[in-house]
Amino acid sequence: MATPEPEVHRITDAAPGAPEVHKITDAGIPLSQEQAGRQHAYLLAMTVRTVCFLGAVFTPSPWRWFLAGGAVVLPYFAVIVANAGRERSDSEGFNILAIRPSRRALGRGR
């Protein structure tokens, strides 16, 4: 016999008709701070790429191919990381949930 899923109830403190209160957790990261972080990640990836390229030029054959592969592949990932930002999420911040077992799970709702 399968165990039924518990009922989930949202706990709210707001009375009906009360004004909406915004939480500090709803605030996003400022755009300037987000862009600076993405620029830093891109610069770091391009620095690693440059090191891989120079290493491929000056190292012996077995390591040369690994470093050349890194120099070829890293720009793709650097651009992906640099362009990723300001995606919207469907979440509303933090929610407090109370999980209460259903009557059927307790054996009274047959």
With respect to residue 24, please indicate whether it lies within any of the assigned structural domains: no
With respect to residue 9, please indicate whether it lies within any of the assigned structural domains: no
With respect to residue 41, please indicate whether it lies within any of the assigned structural domains: yes
With respect to residue 43, please indicate whether it lies within any of the assigned structural domains: yes
With respect to residue 81, please indicate whether it lies within any of the assigned structural domains: yes
Over its length of 110 residues, how does the chain's per-residue pLDDT go in tens digits? 566 665 554 555 556 667 777 676 667 778 888 888 889 999 999 999 999 999 999 998 888 999 999 999 999 998 988 888 766 555 555 555 555 666 665 565 55
Provide CB contacts within 8 A for 92, sequence distance 6+. 26
- The residue segments making up the domain with residue 68 are 30-85
With respect to residue 2, please indicate whether it lies within any of the assigned structural domains: no
With respect to residue 14, please indicate whether it lies within any of the assigned structural domains: no
How does strand 97-100 pair with strand 7-10? antiparallel
Say how far apart CA 79 and CA 38 lie, in whole Å.
10
With respect to residue 4, please indicate whether it lies within any of the assigned structural domains: no
Domain count within the chain: 1
